[in-house]
Amino acid sequence: MHEANPEITSSQVFRYLEIAAERVRAALPRFTYRMQNHSSINNIYPDADNDQWTSGFWPGQIWLAYVYTNDPVFKYAGLIQSENLLARIKAKVAVDHHDMGFLYTPSCTAAWAITGDEGAREAAILAADQMLTRFQEKGGFFQAWGPMGAPDNYRYIIDCLMNLPLLYWATKETGNPEYAEKANIHAATTLANSIRDDDSTHHTFYMNMETGEPVRGETCQGYDNNSSWARGQAWAVYGAAIAYRYTKDPKWIDVFNRVTAYFLKRLPEDLVPYWDLIFTSGDEPRDSSSGAIVACGLLEMSELVDKEESKALKSTARKLVAALTTGYAATGGTDGLLLHSTYSKKTPYNTCTPEGVDECVTWGDYFYLEALLRLHKPEWKPYW
Ligand code: GLY
């Protein structure tokens, strides 16, 4: 970590939260009934149907803006989006994948926690049920993509750690232990296979469909199979903190420390990661969203460790957020909050569809706002 990088001050947090909340408000006329696309085009979000894995993040921003401002205009829009998400899960529109947590935690479990809206609760429970249909007994994991049991997709991805809180929430709400049991199994499979010896992470990981044995890691969105995709590493940081909160397995503290140290040591001078951690300087695009995710992960873990450790984690998070507000926070000319993120950059060595390179991405905006809110209001309880 670069000692000279400044921490964000409380008055700067307040200033940037004000800007961010106003930007969410300004986007409401276009996006109360419609969703934002997963990524912007020239920093402007096209509107989209509610059929992407990212459709929970815009409602999530609306709820964070409501928590911050208490302005009923946000509650009104957030509840319309919850109805929209309830209709989606009832009709099973584009939900044949594992991302039920990304979709329903920041949106509907948030709406339920904040307002007690029964429709939001029902939507989140139906989403948790849908997630259970993705569980593979052989190997013990939630299959990320594709038809269940397809040999070329018999794998899970590191991102899925962020889908598990929906399942822990569903067990707490319904009393049915199955959700949490399967989340625990998936977490243990991730712990066993996804972290490399050098503390970087595999993006996707294949399991043997006959024996359930681990097979190999492979990237989809990273530079190549040996590199560490910045956002995968970021999901591992926040995911490890959350897994520790729910499982209390101390191995997750160790993993958190390892993957965090790797992420931090691969940051360039200004502390905003390149899209893959193989790059530490030069002209490659950044993925500012990974910086925001890691800041949230550090702040989450700071609630779970002793005072001294907590202080160090908060200090690092403040540096990461200061870095984002210096040159990456949008102040005008876009409906995003955070500039210079990367969804998927194609290389000769990966398998992704190229989209959203050096753009705003809806989860980048969400986690940037969550990080600011966590710093401003430490008593805020995450919905993850
Ligand atoms: N979970 C997909 C991504 O982070 O791009």
- pTM exceeds 0.85, yes or no: yes
Q: What is the CA 179 to chain-centroid distance, rounded? A: 20
| Cβ atoms 61, 363 nearer than 8 A | no
pLDDT digits (tens, 9 = 90+) for 344-383: 999 999 999 999 999 999 999 999 999 999 999 999 999 9
Residues 168 and 173: their CA atoms lie apart, in Å, by 9
Nearest-atom number in ligand 1 for the CA of 343 is 5
Distance 113 CA to ligand 1 centre (A): 25
**Rounded (to 5) percent helix, strand, coil in the chain:** 50, 10, 35
Sequence-separated (6 or more) residues with CB below 8 Å from residue 310: 302, 303
* pLDDT classification of 2: cutoffs 50, 70, 90: low
Q: For residue 339, what are its two tokens?
A: 């500039």
Q: Count CA atoms within 13 Å of residue 187 on its CB side.
A: 28
Beta bridge partners of 274: 286
Name the nearest CA neighbour of 163 among 127, 123, 202: 127
Q: Is 99 annotated as catalytic?
A: yes
Residues 260 and 316: their CA atoms lie apart, in Å, by 11
Residues 384 and 371: their CA atoms lie apart, in Å, by 13
Sequence-separated (6 or more) residues with CB below 8 Å from residue 116: none
Token match 């339920």: residue?
Answer: 112
pLDDT for residue 170 is more than 80? yes
pLDDT of 1: 60
Neighbours of 306 (CB within 10 A): 7
Residues 307 and 315: their CA atoms lie apart, in Å, by 12
Lowest mean pLDDT among 24-33, 246-255, 313-322, 330-339: 330-339
Residues 47, 49, 71, 99: which is the catalytic one? Answer: 99
* CA distances from residue 129 to 80, 92, 240 in whole angstroms, order as listed: 22, 11, 23
Sequence-separated (6 or more) residues with CB below 8 Å from residue 20: 65, 329, 337, 368, 369, 372
Residues 337 and 332: their CA atoms lie apart, in Å, by 9
* pLDDT classification of 332: cutoffs 50, 70, 90: confident
State percent of the chain over pLDDT 90.
Answer: 97
Q: For residue 258, what are its two tokens?
A: 């390892």
Distance 138 CA to ligand 1 centre (A): 25
Token match 């993120």: residue?
Answer: 341
pLDDT of 331: 86
Classified as helix, coil or strand, 201 is: strand
* pLDDT classification of 4: cutoffs 50, 70, 90: confident
Distance 72 CA to ligand 1 centre (A): 31
Q: How many residues does the chain have?
A: 384
Distance 159 CA to ligand 1 centre (A): 7
* pLDDT classification of 161: cutoffs 50, 70, 90: very high
pLDDT for residue 335 is more than 90? no
pLDDT for residue 215 is more than 70? yes
pLDDT digits (tens, 9 = 90+) for 63-95: 999 999 999 999 999 999 999 999 999 999 999
Q: For residue 281, what are its two tokens?
A: 């300087």
Residues 117, 159, 276, 335: which is the catalytic one? Answer: 159
Residues 370 and 382: their CA atoms lie apart, in Å, by 9
pLDDT of 132: 98
Nearest CA to ligand 1 atom 2: 159
Pocket of ligand 1 (CB under 6 A): 159, 221, 231, 343
Q: Is 159 annotated as catalytic?
A: yes
Three-state SS sequence of 11-72: HHHHHHHHHHHHHHHHHCCCCCCCEECCECECCECCEECCCCCCCCHHHHHHHHHHHHHCCH
Q: Count CA atoms within 13 Å of residue 14 on its CB side.
A: 3
* pLDDT classification of 17: cutoffs 50, 70, 90: very high
Nearest-atom number in ligand 1 for the CA of 235 is 4
265: phi then psi, degrees, rounded to nearest 5: -75, -15
pLDDT digits (tens, 9 = 90+) for 111-159: 999 999 999 999 999 999 999 999 999 999 999 999 999 999 999 999 9
pLDDT digits (tens, 9 = 90+) for 260-284: 999 999 999 999 999 999 999 999 9
Distance 238 CA to ligand 1 centre (A): 13
Nearest-atom number in ligand 1 for the CA of 157 is 1
Nearest CA to ligand 1 atom 4: 231
126: phi then psi, degrees, rounded to nearest 5: -60, -35
What average pLDDT does this structure show over 178-207?
98
Residues 331 and 312: their CA atoms lie apart, in Å, by 30
Residues 263 and 258: their CA atoms lie apart, in Å, by 9
Nearest CA to ligand 1 atom 1: 159
What average pLDDT does this structure show over 329-336?
89
Residues 194 and 215: their CA atoms lie apart, in Å, by 11
